[in-house]
Amino acid sequence: MKKVGFYQGCCFQGPDAHMFDTLKKVFADLDVDIKLIEKTTCCGGNTIDEANKFLVYSINARNIALAEAEGLDLLVTCNTCYMVLAKTKHALDTDPQLREEINKLLAEEGLEYKGTSKLWHILPFLLEEVGLEKLKERVKRPLKGWKIATYYGCHIKYPKEVAVVDSEDPQGLEELIEALGGEPIKDYEGANTCCGYHAFYTNKEVALKKVVRAPEGAKKAGAEMLVTPCPLCFKAQDIYQDMAENKPNVPSVYLPELLAYALGYDAKESGLSYHIIPVEKISVKAGAI
C-alpha cells in the first residue's frame, strides 16, 4: 500500500472535518494510506501571499519540511493551498540563498527544507498514482446517467510554472468521471470563469455575479451538476450561488465526494447530503436514496 502525507489546510477543519475520515477510507479502498501531517499551518493563500512573500515562503517551507521529516510526499486537496505550496517549492528549489535564509528559521524548530518531497494535487495523484483502471475496478455504484460538467478552478491553471493542468485546455476530470461511470460535459459557457470565492471578502456584489456563470453555462449545456477538485470553488458554488439573484440552482460537488459515492459510500458518508443546493434529486437516479 502506497503511503502519502496529507496537508489538511483550513478546508478539512470545522464543519468539513468529516471529509478527512472519508478520504482516508476511500484512499484505503484504492490501496493508498494517507497520513495526516500534524502541526501544519494555513498556507496564507490570497492573504499573507499578497502581503509578504518571505513570510508565506517560510510558512509553507515549514509545511513541506514536516512531510519531509517523515519521509513522505505531500498530498494537497485544495487548489489554492496547492498553488501556494507549489510556488514556495519552486522558489526554494531555484533560489539557494532564499532556501538558506528560510532554513535558518526552520532550524529553530529542528526542521530543514530539503526539497525531497513531491507535492501532489489530488487530480494528478488519482490519475497517475492510483490510475483509471484501478478506479474502474473499485467502483461499486456507477454514476450511470449522471451528466456532470467539469470545473477546474483557477489555481491549478496558474501560474504556469507550477500549473497542474493546461490553462487553455485542462484535462483529467473528464477521464475520472468516465471511470466512475458518469457522462462528462467539458465545453460550456463559463467553464473557465472564476468562482468568486476570494472576491466575496472584498466585493460581495462582484462575487455573486461571478459565481453563477459556470452553473448557468453548465445548465444550458445539459449538465445536472458541476464537479470540481477545489473545496473553495465547491463552497462558492454551493453557498454563494444560493445567495445570488436568479440562481441557476445547479448542485456543485467536490471531487472526493463524487469519488466516495461511486466507491459505495452513502450520501451522508460521502458528504453529498450536507449541500445547501441539494444533490439528492440527482442521487435518486442511482438508487441511493
What domains does the chain contain, in order, with CATH numbers?
2-122 (1.20.1050.140), 140-286 (3.40.50.11810)
pLDDT > 60? residue 286:
no
pLDDT at 92: 98
* Entry field: residues in the chain: 289
Sign of CA dihedral 165, 149, 76, 9: positive
**Distance of CA 289 to CAs 145, 249, 272, 275, Å?**
16, 20, 11, 15
- pLDDT bracket for residue 48 (50, 70, 90): confident
Q: Of 63, 259, 88, which is closest to residue 179 (Cα–Cα)?
A: 259
Residue that wins the pLDDT comparison between 96 and 145: 96
pLDDT at 260: 95
- Mean pLDDT score of the chain: 93
Q: What is the distance between the alpha carbons of residues 274 and 261, in angstroms, rounded to a whole number? A: 13
Percent of the chain with pLDDT over 70: 96
Q: What is the distance between the alpha carbons of residues 198 and 88, in angstroms, rounded to a whole number? A: 20
Judged on CB neighbours under 10 Å (0-12, 13-18, 19+), 255 is buried
pLDDT > 80? residue 124:
yes
- pLDDT bracket for residue 280 (50, 70, 90): low
pLDDT > 50? residue 146:
yes
Q: What is the distance between the alpha carbons of residues 241 and 237, in angstroms, rounded to a whole number? A: 5
pLDDT > 60? residue 285:
no
What does the pLDDT look like over 258-273, one tens digit per residue?
999 999 998 889 989 8
Mean pLDDT, residues 171-180 taken together: 98
CB atoms within 10 A of CB 267: 19
Contacts of 244 (CB under 8 A, 6+ apart): 208, 209, 211, 212
Mean pLDDT, residues 29-39 taken together: 97
Look at 48-57, 226-235, 240-249 and tell me which has the smallest mean pLDDT. 48-57
- pLDDT bracket for residue 39 (50, 70, 90): very high
pLDDT at 208: 93
**Distance of CA 68 to CAs 3, 113, 115, 239, Å?**
13, 8, 8, 36
Mean pLDDT, residues 149-172 taken together: 96
Q: What are phi and psi of 2, to 5 degrees?
A: -70, 140
Mean pLDDT, residues 123-127 taken together: 98
Mean pLDDT, residues 51-73 taken together: 96
What does the pLDDT look like over 84-115, one tens digit per residue?
999 999 999 999 999 999 999 999 999 999 99
